[in-house]
Amino acid sequence: MTAQGAIHDTKNWTDFKLIEYPLKTAEDHDIDVNIENCGVCGSDVHTITGGWGDVMLPAVVGHEIIGRVTKVGPKASSEFKVGQLVGVGAQVGSCTKCPDCTANNEQYCSHGVFTYNHKYPNGDRTMGGYADKIRVHENFVFAIPEGIEGKHAAPLMCAGLTVYSPLVRNGCGPGKKVGIVGIGGLGHIALQFAAALGAEVYALTHSLKKKDDILKMGVADEEHIIVTNGEENFQDKFYHQLDLILSTVDNTEGLPLDKLARILVVNGRLVTVGLPSGDATLPIHARSFMGNGCLFSSSLLGSKKEANEMLELAAAKGVKPWIQELNMSQAGEAVQGLYDGKVRYRYVLHNDIPKKN
């Protein structure tokens, strides 16, 4: 198998090279996929820069994968057919038998396997989506509904599911006021899903630079945009008003979590899905929760059940990531652009890997 996206040195993390490697050992429930698109996630940059720790080199990243089924394992369900458009996200394995797996919480399985920089129980390495092929257990392959183009489905595989799961698990819906912190790759999708679920949506952002974009993403008007920088007491105007706040920010420096907590209603919820590099910690004190008894938590990815529901909602309500398109041969440009904060709002790579004779 040929893959585009291998790094050989985390100090030269934009230097991608074409390598060949074997697919995972075939099993009865596996689905083989020819990759057409792959979104570029902040996790990719954290990994290839070494920001999240050691990397097994060479590494092929990418976990917002879209492609066509080329082979269906002999014991796989009838859900999948050769030629079908499918997606793969940030998880490719779990034990399938534990209480978490059997309760549609497989993303929390203690034996979970991530899409890259990880190993299967048999020792096979996982390689991601900056590639031309991938083989994955059917439990972690998602059928893409008609009405969603592959290039727009790609960011939903990680960014979309990562925000959709905590939104629905924390009651986002009609009659609820929901705030989204950080209007980037995850946040711009979170705004759209919160609106699609029927909530009154607020955007919490550093400035009004993205105002015009935000007002096209599910936010009703400028009164629903909360500027957190340069406004020392921004929380006063919205004191005890929001039911749920979802933070998508992965840079904890200057993140005003104590003030965000005060915006929540009594027993409101503050959920973070942003993962910073290194050993950075969240700047918050226990007393910040006492004024309203609010709850603070995090979330990891989402289940297959939630992924299928998310995709159906996206198709029905027109939820569509805002993307910039590049080829896989431009992967270095894409990760550098993401690192520099230049993307609006998600890079999606098209497979231009030369076919082997």
| Amino acid 246: pLDDT | 98
Threshold 0.85, pTM exceeds: yes
- What DSSP string runs through 254-275? T--HHHHHHHEEEEEEEEE---
Tokens standing for 187? 């946040």
| Amino acid 270: pLDDT | 96
Q: What is the DSSP letter of 119?
A: B
Cβ atoms of 35 and 60 closer than 8 Å: no
CATH 3.90.180.10: which residues of the chain? Answer: 2-158+302-350
| Amino acid 289: pLDDT | 81
Q: What is the pLDDT along the chain (357 residues), one digit of tens a residue?
A: 667 678 888 899 999 999 999 999 999 999 999 999 999 999 999 999 998 888 999 999 999 999 999 999 999 999 999 999 999 999 999 999 999 999 999 999 999 999 999 999 999 999 999 999 999 999 999 999 999 999 999 999 999 999 999 999 999 999 999 999 999 999 999 999 999 999 999 999 999 999 999 999 999 999 999 999 877 789 999 999 999 999 999 877 767 888 999 999 999 999 999 887 777 777 777 787 888 999 999 999 999 999 999 999 999 999 999 999 999 999 999 999 999 999 999 999 999 998 875
Q: Which fold has domain 2-158+302-350?
A: Quinone Oxidoreductase; Chain A, domain 1 (3.90.180)
| Amino acid 357: pLDDT | 57
| Amino acid 230: pLDDT | 76
Tokens standing for 20? 């060949």
| Amino acid 1: pLDDT | 67
| Amino acid 120: pLDDT | 97
CATH 3.40.50.720: which residues of the chain? Answer: 160-298
Note the CATH architecture for domain 160-298: 3-Layer(aba) Sandwich (3.40)
Query: How far is the C-alpha of 20 from the C-alpha of 1, rounded, in Å?
Result: 5
Cβ atoms of 306 and 172 closer than 8 Å: no
Cβ atoms of 240 and 262 closer than 8 Å: yes
Query: How far is the C-alpha of 299 from the C-alpha of 314, rounded, in Å?
Result: 21
